[in-house]
Amino acid sequence: MDINTIWYALIAVLFIGYFVLEGFDFGVGMLLPLVANDDTERRIVINTIGPFWDANEVWLITAGGAMFAAFPDWYATLFSGFYLPLFLILVALILRAVGFEFRGKIDSARWRRTADWAIVIGSAVPAFLWGVALTNLVRGVPIDAAMQVQGTLLTLLNPFALLGGVVSITVFALHGALFLNLRTDEAVADRARRLAQRLWWPTAAVLAAFFVFSYSQTDLFDRSGLVPGTLPVLAMIAFAASAVLARLRWDAWAFATTALTIALATVVAFEGLYPTVMPSSLDPAFSLTVYNASSSALTLRVMLVVALVFVPIVLAYQAYSYWVFRRRVTRRNIPGA
């Protein structure tokens, strides 16, 4: 495995961490008005992700920084060609952060409702647009010989990409419902459990449609896994297992299987693309790869040393924070409830 491949794998790991961890707090944010009936319950729901949501976004920042340093041409083409969707994701994340941070600053029911909707919208928009963006990446975009993406926003909003957005928003919602079932109790946990059961079937339907559609739109399944097609099948098995485990009320295992589904789906995308990082739909010769879009070998080697020193420290700190805040959030934890 050469240094370019190692950095591609590291970036893939960062995106896996981002989608798995940010996925559940996107889901919690989207489900806020559906699982909480009063202000105390809404505070319970928000507090389940309070210690984590901003740390989860660090995975995205780190992935973007690693992409900029290791594959500058990939970064430039992606962020220029996908400028509007990524800008909308950024605006939504800012709106979401404002909702979290300022919800309790004014003692007003109207203000809190506004903040709650900021959280809902700020969670749903990125959840949908990340699915659109990733689907376009694996499908291919019109990249010319100058490494520039041609076309408009409507080019990115094709039917297959929109289906990918629906897949991501439903999977993240299910992931969030199972997280709430794991981290709350009594009424909120019961509603989250029932909602997860209701969400599973429509999520399965859009996943199946995406699975079938992908065969005609991409060649990912021909290249993913040691045996072609194994990883997508494993992802579907993990997803099916989540329904069984949720009905058995094995809450932690049910949540783990949706996390595994998201992780395997991300692996399918990155492994299926390799060694391409952005395929061109105009001409395969114009595609960006881990070789023609990378920094120098010396830059990659120096950065690898830095990453090997600091990334384990960051991972250890985040694992510690999850351990510290591992208990369920209940009404007893809410001041004044």
Q: pLDDT digit of tens for each residue in the chain (337 aa)?
A: 799 999 999 999 999 999 999 999 999 999 999 999 999 999 999 999 988 898 899 899 999 999 999 999 999 999 999 999 999 999 999 999 999 999 988 889 999 999 999 999 999 999 999 999 999 998 889 999 989 988 887 888 899 999 999 999 999 999 999 999 999 988 999 999 999 999 999 999 999 999 888 887 777 666 555 455 678 889 999 999 999 999 998 999 999 999 999 999 999 889 888 899 999 989 889 999 999 999 999 999 999 998 888 888 888 988 998 999 888 998 887 876 5
pLDDT of 226 reads 47
pLDDT of 165 reads 95
pLDDT of 74 reads 94
| Rounded Cα distance, 52 and 65, in Å | 21
| Rounded Cα distance, 55 and 161, in Å | 28
pLDDT of 222 reads 60
pLDDT of 101 reads 92
Long-range CB contact pairs, 245-249, < 8 A, 24+: 246/178, 246/181, 246/193, 246/196, 246/197, 246/200, 247/197, 249/193
| Rounded Cα distance, 89 and 78, in Å | 14
| Rounded Cα distance, 74 and 327, in Å | 41
Please, what are the domains in the chain? Answer: 3-333 (1.20.1630.10)
pLDDT of 218 reads 76
What mean pLDDT is reported for the chain? Answer: 91
pLDDT of 49 reads 94
φ, ψ (nearest 5 deg) of residue 71: -135, 70
| Rounded Cα distance, 263 and 133, in Å | 17
pLDDT of 199 reads 95
Instruction: For tokens 């203000």, name the residue.
Output: 111
Sign of the dihedral through C-alpha 231, 232, 235, 237: negative
pTM of the predicted structure, to 2 decimals: 0.93
